[in-house]
């Protein structure tokens, strides 16, 4: 993995808490993960990004300190906004 790769980290504890989330497979281990709408649009724009579950993304971050997290903050904002409405 090069530091140019982007990592997408899922939020919501694997239960699709964010409305509009869809299930995908972790690029690395194949585990089912939820992708928030912001991640889905990122995937549409950059189809070759890595899609990693929390465990795999932590491993990747340990190997590659400057790895990028493409969607974490946006997904967290979506989750926060959803929590406030519910
Ligand atoms: Zn994984």
Structural domain including 37 reads: 6-85
| Separation of alpha carbons 11 and 7, rounded Å | 13
In-domain check, residue 14: yes
Cα 19 to middle of ligand 1, angstroms: 22
Write down the pTM of the prediction: 0.62
| Residue 29 in tokens | 């281990």
| Separation of alpha carbons 31 and 21, rounded Å | 16
In-domain check, residue 1: no
Answer whether residue 55 shows pLDDT above 70: yes
H-only helix segments in the chain: 37-45, 54-63, 72-85
pLDDT mean over 26-45: 84
pLDDT mean over 28-51: 83
In the chain, the number of structural domains is 1
Cα 1 to middle of ligand 1, angstroms: 14
Between these two residues, 58 and 44, which has the higher pLDDT value?
44
Cα 42 to middle of ligand 1, angstroms: 19
Cα 85 to middle of ligand 1, angstroms: 30
Answer whether residue 25 shows pLDDT above 70: yes
- Which pLDDT belongs to residue 30? 92
């Amino acid at each position: 993995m090069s530091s140019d790769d982007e990592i997408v980290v899922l939020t919501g504890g694997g239960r699709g808490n964010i409305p509009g989330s869809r299930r995908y497979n972790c690029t690395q281990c194949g585990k089912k993960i939820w992708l928030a709408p912001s991640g889905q649009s990122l995937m549409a724009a950059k189809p070759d990004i890595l899609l990693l579950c929390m465990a795999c993304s932590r491993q990747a971050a340990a190997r590659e300190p400057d790895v990028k997290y493409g969607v974490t903050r946006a997904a967290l904002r979506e989750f926060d906004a959803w929590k406030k409405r519910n």
